[in-house]
Amino acid sequence: MTDESDATRGMDGAGQRRELTVRLAVPEMDCPSCAGKVDKSLGRVDGVVDADLNPTTGTATVTYDPDRASEADMADAIEGAGYEVIGGTDGDEESTESASSAGGVDVAPPSEVWTSPRAKKTWLGAVFVALGLGFEFLLTGGNVAVASVLEYPLHVADLLFLGAVAVSGVPVVRSGYYSAKNRSLDIDLLMGTAIIAATGIGYFVEAATLAVLFSIAELLEDYAMDRARDSLRELMELSPDEATVLRDGEEVTVDAEDVAVGEIVVVRPGDKIPLDGTVREGESAVDESPITGESVPVDKSAGDEVYAGAITEEGYLEVEVTSTAGDSTLSRIIEMVQGAQAEQTETEQFVDRFAGYYTPVVVVLAILTAAIPPLVIGDPVTAGVAGYELVFAGDWGTWFVRGLTLLVIACPCAFVISTPVSVVSGVTSAAKNGVLIKGGNHLEAMGEVNAVAVDKTGTLTKGELAVTDVIPVGDADEATLLRHAAGLERRSEHPIAAAILARADESGATEFPEPTGFESLTGRGIRGEISGETYYAGKPALFEELGFDLSRARADGTSDPRTDGGVASEGTLEADDGAFATDTLAALEREGKTVVLVGTETELLGAVAIADEVRPASKRAVERLHDLGVEHVVMLTGDNEGTARAIAEQVGVDEYHAELLPDEKVAAVADIQEQYGDVAMVGDGINDAPALATAEVGIAMGAAGTDTALETADIALMGDDVGKLPYLYELSHTANGVIRQNVWASLGVKALLALGVPLGLVSVALAVVVGDMGMSLGVTGNAMRLANVEPETPELE
């Protein structure tokens, strides 16, 4: 939109083009045709570089050259298209830069729909229409002629109807004028034309009825869109505007935007955390559901990360700020939700293309309906249709009204907004439940997947090693076994050592023996002297080297009948007579667990089994995906065959692939696509990036603290809860159904009404109430149902 001859203008001192961006609230811009008018008007402003118009949020984001235009020019252009701009500045350069740097408004502010000037005019017009109908049909004696125009008598009812047209119809005609000025064939132009034409030929009842009913329809649509925007406003209101900061030893309350990285903010019980940061002092349970969707508060203490918008349950926290207000996790979520709403889905693109043909065709049909029948039909013709006797008269008045009725039906509003309102409802509902969907196209795609591929580590499992079984033998008990194992492992930095020490702490042990002569036996284990005797901790092979016969315990016989689903429950595997029970160690190894034996050269204390624990919600998530209609759930992992098989059996996936490198995961996803069609891949958003990119939908787990996952994934589960995966699929699948219902219902109703017009079965009032107002409200209300789709809670599980 910038002329090539002006390319050297708007440069800063370094020779770079200086551009400013301002975001303005345009509450009345609530449909694609409205946005089209605004876009054309802005396109005529010299200096406008780019315009991003989002009718679902009621905002216009305009980038312009400040040397050739100002914010005031942007506001004037938008108002020149017939839409009021709220919250603009006076347009001087200083205010423009400040407004631009602040980013403007993210969503149009709530409007007082029912008490607005437009509403008051509509109610007054409705009173005039009611009085006019009263004189026309009930108080006929009082409906006397009071004036005449061009020898045409005007009765009391006529004047009341004209009053209704003047009060309620003028705003419609005004909008139609702006549509004509911007060469936009939209509902405002069609309705304005119909009102003027009906009034001009003396059809005052029809003109007044059309003006009032259409104004009511517009108010109802404004109210419905305002309700749809509420979900985004709620998201934006999660983060407080102010923060209490420690400066020079004193607490100072400032705007959250004025807090710098590294400053300390104070958060008291019940307060919202104003900015992302790290706890430096204090302890408190924190409700992070606004960010992660997790309903259970998380305990936070020194060193833990916290997010803006989270709420402290009790306790006092001092938090060191790690990101500014505009760069917090919540701010990025809001920004991405807005971006998701701005992106058109394939359905939206189809609808827009269809509407581009639909409206002109119906307008032409309306003109033909008004003009042709009176020329063709002479005397009235009677015909029986479906048991009804229909009279086709050839008078101009009858067919002119039917042509006006078709003009009303020509408006594609309900059809066009059917998809955007569904996307708004679905994306914002998901965000409030801890699922960030970065585009309506991803929402649609997720609902169409036939298979889900899931990474193992960190997705189905916790990604952290933990002790699953403690099996003492002989005279040793569990406490003795853990105490000696922890004593040896405290010198080791291996993850297995950390798991054993954590389990020992959980068991209540406070004192561990201090080993001397500690030595790491590479690839086999460790040893050290405790109370003058050498103890070992390591693989079964290490103890076989020491002379222990573990053949019976390691025999690959039948699995222990006391295991559940192929995975041993904690503490169920026991030993007898100072030795392990048959198949004990083999059963643990088949389950993918790492076995650490503890003992001396002559005596075994027992075994400790360690594994990456399966998330409690994983099995239910896989079951629920199957219940919802996902054909195939596949686990992909780089782990060994035994571990992969054990996890796959426990969580119930249909298929698994083990020992995969990143490029092999890509090949696996491609194979699944070939067999089952569309695939969603779930991973950590970093190591699985190639596979995420290959799938139709890439989903990242635990993205709240990972910038990379937020940026690269199509969809991000903000918390570490794989249980949100079925919710995501159900929401997306339901959204696709709602979109189809909205599109076909609006088309079907329009088609039926259009067929009924030539037959005289559809009046102007019916076309407005059902075809325009009714369907717009219907598709919006249907879309709002998506807010009722919620994740399963632990209680329900």
Look at the block and give the residue holding tokens 């315990």: 553
Q: Give the tokens for residue 757.
A: 């017009």
Q: Give the tokens for residue 441.
A: 């196209």
**How many other β-carbons are positioned within 10 Å of the β-carbon of residue 303?**
8
| Under 8 Å between Cβ of 255 and 277 | no
Query: CB within 8 A of 709, min separation 6: which ones?
Result: 684, 685, 686, 700, 701, 702, 703, 716
| Under 8 Å between Cβ of 124 and 171 | no
Which of 678, 624, 619 minimizes the C-alpha distance to 653?
619
Burial class from Cβ neighbours inside 10 Å (0-12, 13-18, 19+) for residue 290 reads: buried
| Under 8 Å between Cβ of 548 and 601 | no
CA atoms within 13 A on the CB side of 442: 28
Instruction: Spot the catalytic one: 158, 186, 455, 714.
Output: 455
Q: Can you tell me whether residue 285 is helix, strand or coil?
A: strand
Query: CB within 8 A of 109, min separation 6: which ones?
Result: 25, 27, 86, 87
723 φ/ψ angles, rounded to the nearest 5 degrees: -65, -15
**Cα–Cα dist 398/375, whole Å:** 13
**Cα–Cα dist 712/724, whole Å:** 19
225 φ/ψ angles, rounded to the nearest 5 degrees: -65, -35
**Cα–Cα dist 636/632, whole Å:** 13
**Cα–Cα dist 233/572, whole Å:** 52
Torsion from C-alpha of 71, 74, 79, 85, nearest 10 degrees: -50
**Cα–Cα dist 599/602, whole Å:** 8
Instruction: Give 27-43 as a DSSP string.
Output: TT--SHHHHHHHHHHHH
For residue 86, the cross-strand partners are 25
Which of 584, 570, 580, 593 minimizes the C-alpha distance to 507?
570
H or E element that contains 306: strand 305-306
208 φ/ψ angles, rounded to the nearest 5 degrees: -65, -45
| Greatest C-alpha distance within the chain | 125
Tell me the residue type at 585: L
Query: CB within 8 A of 62, min separation 6: which ones?
Result: 21, 22, 23, 24, 42, 48, 50, 51, 52, 74
Question: Tell me, what DSSP letter sits at residue 241?
Answer: S
Query: CB within 8 A of 247, min separation 6: which ones?
Result: 263
Task: Report the phi/psi class of residue 150: left, alpha or beta, with left for phi > 0 and alpha for psi in -120 to 50.
Answer: left
Task: Report the phi/psi class of residue 467: left, alpha or beta, with left for phi > 0 and alpha for psi in -120 to 50.
Answer: beta
Instruction: Judge whether 30 counts as a catalytic residue.
Output: no
Q: Give the tokens for residue 676.
A: 């089952």
**Cα–Cα dist 25/167, whole Å:** 27
Task: Let me know the angle formed at the C-alpha of 559 by 553 and 560, rounded to the nearest 5 degrees.
Answer: 75
Task: Report the phi/psi class of residue 262: left, alpha or beta, with left for phi > 0 and alpha for psi in -120 to 50.
Answer: left
- Strand order in 250-255's β-sheet? 250-255, 242-247, 264-267, 317-321, 277-282, 305-306
**Cα–Cα dist 659/636, whole Å:** 9
Look at the block and give the residue holding tokens 């916290």: 306
Catalytic residue ranges? 455
